[in-house]
Structures are given as C-alpha cells and as structure tokens.
Amino acid sequence: KMMPHMAVPVAGAGLSWRFDGFYAINYLSFSIGNAGLRAIIVPNGAVKTTFMDIRTGKTNPEAGYVKWG
C-alpha cells in the first residue's frame, strides 16, 4: 500500500562551519525524506561527524539553518 505524501522530516540550507580558519562545510544544502535508507559516503576526515552534529543540533552552524519537519 502506498503511503500518503508527508513533509520532509529534516532539511538544511546554506550551512557553513569553519575549523581553524578553513571551511569544513561551505554553503551545504540538503533534504532527507521520510522513507528509505540514506548514507553519507566520503573519505575519512571529510567532516561526516561535524555534519551529523549540525544536523542534530549538537553543533551550531556559523551560517544557514536546519529545519525539522
């Protein structure tokens, strides 16, 4: 049975974050839907943890926003 259309649970726009003066994340925008499996596949040291911390609210971005549902 098909699920009715639902709002995007989490989205972000214009996210930026610097580490020691270098942009680790620079104007990142994303949206994560409510169905399926999602993965972030990048090399080690490519700020996956920082992105997840910003997405969950543990770390505040220097610019941009994250909006939940």
Residue type, 32: I
Q: Specify the pTM.
A: 0.71
pLDDT at 1: 46
**Chain mean pLDDT for the chain:** 83
Do 13 and 36 meet the contact criterion of CB atoms below 8 Å apart? no
